[in-house]
């Protein structure tokens, strides 16, 4: 794969990952509540789901989802419902100062990994975008497998670094949200963002 093509792919991948979405919201929310170490587990879940999307695209299943109204709508509404549920849960969350909460220790890495995985896995816009995006960088004159491996690894690395960036930005605000009143405000803000992302997903069309 020519270096110029790969650099172009990296640039588009950065734009794709930087676009505000559920992954960014959940990364920032988790960082502000549980800190960087636990958030890395969530980001790993996000990337695992993205890996599944990439495998589906390479296998041709992404094109099937993009062309199937039923499967796209089913996954879309499931994902929207999950995000809205996360938003309601965040709204109802108690205003507990993180340093004094046992919840930080009780929340397992596996639970956060599953949350990240579900957020990305239930988003059909991701796999439809990848199905339309990746093949444009595949040269039919050379074996496709190695090209998909390079592009897939690049997508995962770029998205992981972007999510870590969101995590670090949110982490700098942790000290500000150190009172029950501000924590409650934080919960309401992220709860609203989750529900907004869910509603945006529910109204999305395959062409988007």
> Residue 9 falls within a domain, yes or no?
no
Q: Which of 17-26, 62-71, 179-188 has the lowest mean pLDDT?
A: 62-71
Tens digits of per-residue pLDDT, 40-90? Answer: 999 999 999 999 999 888 887 666 666 667 777 777 787 778 778 877 877
pLDDT single digits (tens) 118-167:
988 887 777 877 877 787 788 878 888 888 899 999 999 999 999 999 99
> What Cα–Cα distance (Å) separates residue 95 from each residue in 30, 171, 194, 196?
14, 17, 18, 21
pLDDT at 208 exceeding the cut of 50: no
Provide the whole-model pTM. 0.77
- Domain range holding 148? 22-202
Give the span between the Cα atoms of 139 and 50, in whole angstroms: 22
Q: How far apart are CA 115 and CA 94, in angstroms?
A: 19
- What is the average pLDDT across 93-100? 57
The position carrying tokens 């004094």 is 100
Average pLDDT over residues 175-193: 73
Task: Classify residue 177 by its DSSP letter.
Answer: S
- Tell me the backbone φ, ψ of residue 2, rounded to 5 degrees: -60, 145
Residue 107's Cβ-count burial label (10 Å; 0-12, 13-18, 19+) is: middle
Q: What percentage of the chain carries pLDDT values higher than 70?
A: 82
Cβ 45 vs Cβ 112: under 8 Å: yes
Q: Quick check: is 14 in a domain? A: no
Task: Let me know if residue 6 belongs to a domain.
Answer: no
Determine, yes or no, domain membership for 68: yes
pLDDT, residue 173, reads 77
Residue 149 lies inside a defined structural domain of this protein: yes
Q: Is residue 4 part of a domain?
A: no
Q: Looking at the 3D structure of the chain, how many domains does it have?
A: 1
* Measured CA distances, 185 to 74, 176, 177 (Å): 33, 11, 9
């Amino acid at each position: 794969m020519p270096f110029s093509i790969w650099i172009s792919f990296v640039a588009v991948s950065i734009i794709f990952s930087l676009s505000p979405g559920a992954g960014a919201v959940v990364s920032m929310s988790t960082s502000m509540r549980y800190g960087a170490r636990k958030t890395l587990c969530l980001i790993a879940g996000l990337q695992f789901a993205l890996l599944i999307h990439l495998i589906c695209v390479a296998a041709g299943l992404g094109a099937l989802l993009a062309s199937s109204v039923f499967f796209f709508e089913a996954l879309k509404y499931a994902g929207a419902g999950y995000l809205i549920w996360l938003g309601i849960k965040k709204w109802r969350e108690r205003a507990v100062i993180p340093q004094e909460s046992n919840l930080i220790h009780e929340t397992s890495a596996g639970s956060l990994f599953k949350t990240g995985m579900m957020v990305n896995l239930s988003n059909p816009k991701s796999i439809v975008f990848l199905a339309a995006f990746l093949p444009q960088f595949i040269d039919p004159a050379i074996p496709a497998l190695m090209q998909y491996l390079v592009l897939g690894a690049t997508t995962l690395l770029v998205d992981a670094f972007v999510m870590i960036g969101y995590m670090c930005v949110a982490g700098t605000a942790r000290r500000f949200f150190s009172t029950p009143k501000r924590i409650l405000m934080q919960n309401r803000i992220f709860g609203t963002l989750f529900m907004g992302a869910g509603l945006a997903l529910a109204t999305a069309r395959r062409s988007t």
